[in-house]
Structure 1
């Protein structure tokens, strides 16, 4: 009996021990699986983060909404109801305050939404010793990591840019890129997890559809107005006038035989939603809360809203913003023609039977059009199968493309329509017309803006070619900035700023904060085996 009990206890002890060992193995397996899963997720997030930095802004948004789906916006009544659209957009609209040392911006010291000269109010110019002036505008956040789109004319002469978020925080911004040809600018603040506005498709905008304009007009807080799209593809001539004024300034207001070059791109969405001073750079959105345009200017005899506002189409905005983060400048492809928009009167003058389309006045030698066989006197009728209604249609659609892209043009010659494929060529004309002021030592962001330059990371191949381990490429040099003043050339690889190695625009900005006695110390490598050292005074 005693022996049987011992055997029984021994058997149960063995079973319990086996179970314990099994549980330990199971726990170890689960722990290993959990750790492995965390490593996998962490690795995925790391890869995803690296991949996201190479994505376009639209791809970033698509990734975000794939992981964070939002319900469709549906009106609660039979009448227009914009409450949900406004709630979606307003948190991502910011108020921009700019500072202009030693000069005035004209009427009301405002970065006029419509440019002061257009309404006969000349800018007031003061000596550099004049008190600093401030102005305000709007902007819209397009990514969670702080990229903001606004108008070029809101920030173009600013030495300090401050952004006020809807939660009342005020942070300093740096300019990533500016494009006077479209009146667009991309700026950035060093914040994460920000709300942003979802991109729409401006090609799908229809005359008569409801839209909202959001911004900070007339010194007010965030304001929403509603209206309809009253026209598309409109050109007002405002950007062209501003560019022409810049060219006159560069020539010292002296006339010469050199013709003025019009590089402006105007194909606005026209709306009767109320837009006023301060709305510049704010979003125009559809009833679904999707961004379809950036409010740019108004047409009025009084300087305030009189019924017509104009917004830059978002499909053009996306391309410009992507170019700035990928290349540091706008990559513009050209067909290589000059043309005039036909009407019956012009057709009679030119002795052509065609009364619609774009009449080719000149073909640029060795340009894309000449290579494709287009000749003077041809009439452009379609682009990629879409009828060309106006010159703005062609300009805006071509500006969305880059050198090397191919387009299908339809044109008429001798009454017969023909198709040809044109490979766009690079625009070699200088398009930068920025002028950055400077003053005493400030924050790294403010000094960054004073440099008047854009930077992109140097490729590994380029660094290897030059024999350096760090570097950014000077991608833009704006007229009037510090780099322009000291003749720093585009394409120069800068390896160190104030003794610190730099590999990105953010690192350049951080290094600028270390400037001592008002001097920025820059090391550049123009070619292997050579090195240039620049001591750039912040005030000149």
Structure 2
């Protein structure tokens, strides 16, 4: 119901018997587990609460070289896991090479309470087949995100992901998108023409596995973002690619709204098999 701003309300006196009944009702309600509608808060477990819990764990991933302009080069998103000094991201987010001779380092970029920091990182484990990497970072531990069970994900369920869709252009302010699992489909789709097949596609066709297709808008900077349950914040996947309908140059202007995520079970396997972490 909507009331106009110039509406006139008239109040009529309540009879004595009615007042006594209201007083009795107020006394009964006051003694029970009731919450006043005035100042009532949204129950915990909503997306707003989950985002607040997730954001401190989100980092940028790239490289840092003090003598370079700019010194920081952003390549994708990552998120803290396990003990807070390990960061999970995509394998393709990592630089192809690090110029250590000129003091370039692998790095993550974190923000806390408005303060931004650069953390030196080292590659701890790599799974190129499933496009997952784990870094170990210096400094104090970050809040770690809990990993969920990606085998229980179903089509039609709603999830969210948080990361840096356009890098650090607007600063280290993680952005959240959400959508449903549109399909659980193979990582590689056969090309319609033989000339479109390359070595990477052929390899994926030979060892294909299922990934999550989302009806959510993501951008290249979202690579490595955690895909998580909107209520619990448990991570079920890692954003790793976006369907491009025209060219990469037009992706910001004309996003396809189709994104893909790697099931988190491959990240869990990497932590357990390569690092002995649960």
Partner of 2:82: 143
Partner of 2:107: 162
- The one-character-per-residue Cα deviations of 1:463-504 (angstroms, maximum 9, x if unpaired) are xxxxxxxxxxxxxxxxxxxxxxxxxxxxxxxxxxxxxxxxxx
Q: Is the 8 A contact 1:84 1:289 kept in 2?
A: no
Higher relative contact order (CA 8 A, sep 6+): 2
Partner of 2:272: 322
Structure exhibiting the larger radius of gyration computed from Cα positions: 1
Unmatched 5+ residue regions in structure 1? 1-74, 101-131, 247-259, 328-540
Give 1:321 shift. 2.2
What value does the CA root-mean-square deviation take over the aligned residues?
A: 3.1
SS at match of 1:317: helix
Partner of 1:299: 243
Summarize the Cα distance change of 1:135–1:169 in structure 2 as closer, same or farther, 3 Å threshold: closer
Partner of 1:276: 219
Partner of 2:160: 212
Question: Taking structure 2 as the reference length, what is the TM-score of the superposition?
Answer: 0.66
Summarize the Cα distance change of 1:312–1:245 in structure 2 as closer, same or farther, 3 Å threshold: closer
Cα distance in structure 1, aligned partners of 2:272 and 2:148: 16
Cα distance in structure 2, aligned partners of 1:191 and 1:311: 29
Summarize the Cα distance change of 1:300–1:170 in structure 2 as closer, same or farther, 3 Å threshold: same
Give 1:261 shift. 5.1
Partner of 2:54: 89
Aligned pairs, number: 206
- The one-character-per-residue Cα deviations of 1:290-327 (angstroms, maximum 9, x if unpaired) are 10100000112233231111111112210022222139
User: Which is richer in helix?
Assistant: 1
Give 1:170 shift. 0.9
Summarize the Cα distance change of 1:237–1:184 in structure 2 as closer, same or farther, 3 Å threshold: farther
Question: Taking structure 1 as the reference length, what is the TM-score of the superposition?
Answer: 0.35
Partner of 1:482: none
SS at match of 1:89: helix
SS at match of 1:174: strand
Q: Is the 8 A contact 2:84 2:144 kept in 1?
A: no
Partner of 2:5: none
Cα distance in structure 2, aligned partners of 1:166 and 1:242: 42
Q: Which runs of structure 1 show a deviation greater than 4 angstroms over 4 or more consecutive aligned residues?
A: 260-265
SS at match of 2:275: helix
Unmatched 5+ residue regions in structure 2? 1-40, 66-70, 99-104, 191-195
Q: Is the 8 A contact 1:181 1:265 kept in 2?
A: no
